[in-house]
Amino acid sequence: TQEEAQEETGWKLVHGDVFRLPTNSDLLCVYVGTGVQCLGMVLVTMIFAMLGFLSPSNRGGLMTAMLLLWVFMGLFAGYASSRLYKMFKGTEWKRIAFRTAFLFPAVVSSIFFVLNALIWGQKSSGAVPFGTMFALIFLWFGISVPLVFVGGYIGFKKPAADDPVKTNKIPRQIPEQAWYMNPVFSILIGGILPFGAVFIELFFILTSIW
């Protein structure tokens, strides 16, 4: 009947598959931990800025504050990733903590060091000095990585959160999606629209400058 069909929609239709173990659960845990780290850094930075601790007259103050907050937020990154990993019935929390500590920072650091090497090769004054690079490496390996492992240890020792509903043994068949729901199309549109909105304004700004 129509009433029964209406009841089998929304949450009642998918509640048995919501808490099913995802395909790449380890990578999801790493992404969640990194997202918590970014969110904490942004929130605390905004609070400091609103309180007046970050003055615009202090050049580099904002970047330094964000970098230091990113390092110390590694504690929450390890905690969040390990908590989610234990919820997925995982046992090797050290592997998740290691990936959380190195995956995203390694990608950013690789790009940074390559660009800095190119700038240094051009003998530009904009290249980052070796002392600053050594300080960045020390902050990463000496403070951020240990904090991620400490947070991972604390998070994994906590009791795992229980799923509010039971997961069906047989996965529900996913209906065929429309063509515009294709991931490739969604990614292209999601990038083209913001780029087009910004590029039009930047084009006239750069044209007026040069």
CA distance linking residue 187 with residue 200, whole number of Å: 20
Tell me, yes or no, whether 111 and 205 share the same domain.
no
Tell me, yes or no, whether 27 and 130 share the same domain.
yes
Tell me, yes or no, whether 189 and 101 share the same domain.
no
Tell me, yes or no, whether 118 and 203 share the same domain.
no
Tell me, yes or no, whether 205 and 163 share the same domain.
no
Tell me, yes or no, whether 75 and 152 share the same domain.
yes
Tell me, yes or no, whether 110 and 189 share the same domain.
no
Structural domain span for residue 24: 2-175
Cβ atoms 136, 68 nearer than 8 A: no
Tell me, yes or no, whether 132 and 41 share the same domain.
yes
Please tell me the predicted confidence (pLDDT) of residue 201.
84
Please tell me the predicted confidence (pLDDT) of residue 2.
47
Tell me, yes or no, whether 160 and 107 share the same domain.
yes
Tell me, yes or no, whether 135 and 65 share the same domain.
yes
Q: What is the 3-state secondary structure (H, E, C) of the chain?
A: CHHHHHHCCCHHHHCCCCCCCCCCHHHHHHHHHHHHHHHHHHHHHHHHHHHCCCCCCCCCHHHHHHHHHHHHCHHHHHHHHHHHHHHCCCCCHHHHHHHHHHHHHHHHHHHHHHHHHHHHHCCCCCCCCHHHHHHHHHHHHHHHHHHHHHHHHHHHHCCCCCCCCCCCCCCCCCCCCCHHHCHHHHHHHHHHHHHHHHHHHHHHHHHHHC
User: How many distinct structural domains can be found in the chain?
Assistant: 2
pTM for this structure?
0.77
Residues 6+ apart with CB under 8 A from 116: 127, 128, 133
Tell me, yes or no, whether 181 and 162 share the same domain.
no
pLDDT tier at 9, thresholds 50, 70, 90: low
User: What is the per-residue pLDDT across 10-51, written as a single tens digit (0 to 9) for each?
Assistant: 667 777 777 788 888 899 999 999 999 999 999 999 998 888
Tell me, yes or no, whether 84 and 115 share the same domain.
yes
User: What is the per-residue pLDDT across 114-159, written as a single tens digit (0 to 9) for each?
Assistant: 998 898 888 877 788 888 889 999 999 999 999 999 999 999 998 8
Cβ atoms 96, 30 nearer than 8 A: yes
